[in-house]
Structure 1
Amino acid sequence: MSFLFVNAVILLALYLHAYGVTGSYGSGSVASSIKKCGFPGAGSNADLFSKTARKSLRNLVHQVGASAPQNGSLSRFHRERIEGKKFSVSPTIVGGSRAVLNQLCWQVTIRFDAGTFYYECGGVIVGPQTVLSAANCYVDQGTHAPKQNITVVVGLINSDTFNITASGACAESYNVSQLILYPDFSPFNFTRDDIAVIKLDRAIDLDGKPCACRACLEDLAPKPGDLCIASGIGLESTEDTNPVSPLKWVPQAVLENTQDKCFWLIEGDLGEVGDSTTTEPISPVINNFTVGSICAGGVVGEDICFGDGGSALMCLDENEVAYVAGIASTGTAECGVGIGSQYTKIKDYFQWIRQIALPEDVL
């Protein structure tokens, strides 16, 4: 065996190992396994997670008051009246940077049609037919959303879920075969167990779509001080009224779950449920409650906001691969005020997700 051939074999082995090709997926071919989880569809993880990435396209010009109360918390969904009637709009990422085409390929946008209203939330791809999101996005006045009223859209570059062709040929919508909320989730206390698994009616072509990829699902949680990112599509300040807004991402540092840093620990009573359609009060939060939650953010002008609910808090593991650490859940009624927002901690629900998802779908 020649020296050159041996070196070629070694280089191929290193390449396959670096790209996670340790087994087959789908057809069993190497080609179907090359596109592994945890890497953006454009650029690299360094573009998102390096300290120099903490720059902001701050656009806080639209400072018009929110229709929601300014004390307490709101779930992070986006709600609009349809059929030509008056509508109310809730925003998403405050500050942050616009994503380049295909960069945040694990991001999906999810629309729940509820008759007069529709709701928009984010989600994260963890398998060809499996998406994670926030449970609070799929309840309307305490009633769970029927799966036929939910549409999952892959590859959007802006918030227009009714005109996905504007985002390019890669964008595609999917119906839902099953919506599963965590069994202990309460629509009247979404400060805990706020997670849902969505199974699609058909597989996303992760190998053929540059705008779609899997976030890694790991039994792992970030520690305070880790720099992660959140993303979303929606308006850019608490009172922005722009009808269409871009896909953005923002760095979010993980904080200690302490009363002076995290909004849901600051107040014992978090006010009313944030969909503005019910007056049922949220149950008081015990101040030492930390199980199931990650506190992140805390920088004035850089935050998740209402329409960003269900999107991922993405962090890096020891191999510099991006994994989904949390799901955007709730935060202060006025976004970007320098108080940490709440993310559902994936590690505490990891086994449940693996049990619920199709066994061949989530690696």
Structure 2
Amino acid sequence: MLVPLLFLLVWCLEESRASSEPDTRIVGGKEAPEGSIPWQVSMRNIEGTEYHFCGGSIIGKQWILTAAHCVKDRNIDSYEIVVGSNKLSSGGTRYKVESVIIHKDYNAALLTDDISVLKLKEEIKYADNIKAIKVDAGYVYGRENGVVSGWGYIDVSRNCYIKLLNVRTLSVKNCRNKLRDVTGPKYTRNEICALNKEGEGFCQGDSGGPLVRNNKLVGMVSWNVPCGRGYPDVYTRLSSYANWIKEHTRD
């Protein structure tokens, strides 16, 4: 079953609380050094019990890039953007969202054009661990290296730190061949595929998070066959939307 990578866990727990609930990390990755992913954000539901539900990237002092399926039909007053911390349960600076722009052709059933930008109510204060990342309009081919990061599911550990994973992209043809037997959304040329091996990949909670090549943003976590089961992970291809991003973040 193909699914968008929304976060399903109520909250990442403090070490002092015993629990068997899933942790929130990339499958098969490694813990990211503090401040190594300064553009990464955590999107937090603040109605009732607080929880992380998606990732995103800082692309300007008032702009966050994330997946459309993360914000579609979600009240902007129900969540905040947290920047500047590798840990879900503490640290970071919070910002409220002023407006949301979802691609007009976004299709929730097919998960096509899965992209949105969020404008914050105030400018982000940059620091060593809080910085924007440039969107790379260059095309990503197969057999290229990248890094994905996030807090998505992995196991029953209580560790709440962000993880990162080195990934290798696939060609359009190779990706389609590997996904031909699965049902649900179909891979398009507006997406990037990556596959390492079984036991590695992104998972629920990583949606909207960055795929980075040479310290530039080239993709965004969209959907997969969860999680790390040997099928390709699919990212929104940002070179296909570079003009759209510029047009909607002009100010």
Residues 261 and 340 of structure 1 are in contact (CA less than 8 Å); yes or no, is this contact kept in structure 2? no
Unpaired runs of at least 5, structure 2:
12-19
- Is residue 98 from structure 1 mapped to residue 31 from structure 2 by the alignment? yes
Q: Which moved more, 1:179-188 or 1:113-122?
A: 113-122
Distance in 1 (CA, whole Å) between partners of 2:97 and 2:201 is 29
Query: Which protein has the bigger helix share?
Result: 1
Residues 79 and 90 of structure 1 are in contact (CA less than 8 Å); yes or no, is this contact kept in structure 2? no
Q: Which residue matches 1:319?
A: none
**TM-score in terms of structure 1 length:** 0.62
Offset, 1:186: 2.2
SS at match of 2:202: coil
Query: Which protein has the bigger strand share?
Result: 2
Q: Which residue matches 1:197?
A: 117
Distance in 1 (CA, whole Å) between partners of 2:51 and 2:247 is 30
Distance in 1 (CA, whole Å) between partners of 2:177 and 2:97 is 34
Distance in 2 (CA, whole Å) between partners of 1:119 and 1:193 is 23
Offset, 1:113: 4.7
Residues 228 and 251 of structure 1 are in contact (CA less than 8 Å); yes or no, is this contact kept in structure 2? yes
Offset, 1:224: 0.8
Q: Which amino acid aligns with 1:222?
A: V
Alignment equivalent of 1:158, drawn from 87, 91, 97: 87
Distance in 1 (CA, whole Å) between partners of 2:77 and 2:239 is 29
Alignment equivalent of 1:145, drawn from 74, 82, 91: 74
How many residues align? The count is 244
Distance 1:225 1:178, change over 3 A: same
Residues 80 and 117 of structure 1 are in contact (CA less than 8 Å); yes or no, is this contact kept in structure 2? no
Offset, 1:290: 2.3
Distance in 1 (CA, whole Å) between partners of 2:150 and 2:42 is 8
Distance in 2 (CA, whole Å) between partners of 1:309 and 1:298 is 18
Distance in 2 (CA, whole Å) between partners of 1:217 and 1:342 is 18
Q: Which residue matches 2:239?
A: 347
Distance in 2 (CA, whole Å) between partners of 1:337 and 1:98 is 21
Distance in 2 (CA, whole Å) between partners of 1:243 and 1:121 is 18
Residues 264 and 342 of structure 1 are in contact (CA less than 8 Å); yes or no, is this contact kept in structure 2? no
- C-alpha RMSD of the superposition: 2.5
SS at match of 2:241: helix
Q: Can you list the C-alpha shifts for 1:154-174, whole angstroms capped at 9, x where unaligned?
A: 0121222xxx33xxxxx2010
Unpaired runs of at least 5, structure 1:
1-71, 166-170, 271-283, 317-321
Q: Which moved more, 1:97-106 or 1:341-350?
A: 97-106
Q: Which has the larger radius of gyration?
A: 1
Distance 1:103 1:259, change over 3 A: closer
Distance in 2 (CA, whole Å) between partners of 1:120 and 1:76 is 9
**TM-score in terms of structure 2 length:** 0.87
Q: Which amino acid aligns with 1:195?
A: I
Alignment equivalent of 2:136, drawn from 218, 234, 237: 218
Alignment of 1:241-280 (within 5 A): 241-258=156-173, 264-267=179-182, 269-270=183-184
**Higher relative contact order (Cα pairs below 8 Å, separated by 6+ residues):** 2
